[in-house]
Structure 1
Amino acid sequence: MDDMMTRVAAHFALTNEEQAELVEQHEVKNLLTSKFLLVGKLLTRKPYNKEAFKRTMASLWRLTAQVHIIDMEEDKFVFSFQTKATRDTIMRGRTWTFNHSLLIMAAANRLLDPLIIPLRNQEFWVQVKGLPLVFMTRAMEKLIGDALGTYVVTDQSRRGECLSIYLCIRVLLDVGRPLRRWLAVRLPNASGMVEWVQL
């Protein structure tokens, strides 16, 4: 939309009045919204009922946060919260879906237009199964997380060594790429064997 407006504007000469800039002397904080915003998009090519989507998400989040949902262009939505804590709780919560389609979200920097925030990179919890127990360490979690995308954090509910049937790590992934199902890990042991771990 911005590119199209720029191309259209290039065909017109601006008057002196149109070229005049608004110079605001107030402190920036007085011009910004007091709300805490998320911008989101439903990853689907199928048509869906936007009003039903807004009602469903508001209902799902009602116990955690009061939210106001605004329908924007290009199938994007802005979710407005009263506090940063409630916004962060929703953003860091479980994976949100509607009609089996993934809702991707990003925190809107209040100094930027929320419609231009990139939504491709999203955080997900990833379970890694198939590693030998002796390699279930936090160092291995970071190594695998960075191989998949960008490592964010380890499951904080675990204490000490990560001895379990799987590792659980939060990773920043590019949702424009297919999700990987397997990862080949060459273990630094005497045999140098490769373990295929399931994601």
Structure 2
Amino acid sequence: MEDDLHVLYTKMSLTEEESEDVVVDTGDLEDVLPSGECCLFMKLFTEKYFNKKAFKGTMRKVWQTAMGVRFWELSSVLFLVEFENGRDRMKVLREGPWLFDKHLVLLKEMDGRLQVQQVYMTMASFWVQLHD
């Protein structure tokens, strides 16, 4: 099997068009970046299996956004959350921290220049009030 794959792999080649470099104009890149202003990265802080459909549905319900919210699965544990407006995004950040099934939901503001492999989510902010 492995030998068959190796033979097939050696027969593969790119066309002239496929082997050309792809150049992205920085002006085009700047047009895309503002779309991240209404987005957040989201991760459930657990190593256990969880129902992703229930997770997204629960977050949508408890956040009670004025406008719509969409979820994009970037990996098995990382999501991109796209809000219809910046007010809903700020509300979700401000009213946290959030929990799902007794696990912490980590949120991080999206930087349009950041690649998915560079997104590290290991901390959450908490507001604590102490009484004497």
Same fold, TM exceeding 0.5?
A: yes
Return the TM-score normalized by structure 2: 0.72
**Structure 2, unaligned stretches of length 5 or more?**
1-13
**Structure 1, unaligned stretches of length 5 or more?**
1-13, 129-164, 167-199
Instruction: Kindly state the Cα deviation for residue 56 of structure 1 after the two structures are TM-superposed.
Output: 0.7
Partner of 1:95: 97
Q: Is the 8 A contact 1:108 1:117 kept in 2?
A: no
- Taking the aligned partners of 2:128 and 2:83, their CA distance within structure 1 comes to 27
Q: Is the 8 A contact 2:97 2:104 kept in 1?
A: yes
**1:57-136 matches, cutoff 5 A:** 57-128=59-130
Q: Higher strand proportion, which one?
A: 1
Instruction: Kindly state the Cα deviation for residue 79 of structure 1 after the two structures are TM-superposed.
Output: 0.7
Q: Is the 8 A contact 2:97 2:124 kept in 1?
A: no
Q: Is the 8 A contact 1:38 1:105 kept in 2?
A: yes
Partner of 1:11: none
- Taking the aligned partners of 2:28 and 2:21, their CA distance within structure 1 comes to 21
Q: CA RMSD in A?
A: 2.6
The structure having more radius of gyration, on CA atoms, is: 1
Confirm whether residue 31 of structure 1 aligns to residue 46 of structure 2: no
How many residues get paired?
117
Confirm whether residue 56 of structure 1 aligns to residue 75 of structure 2: no
* Distance verdict in 2 for CA 1:73–1:84, change over 3 Å: same
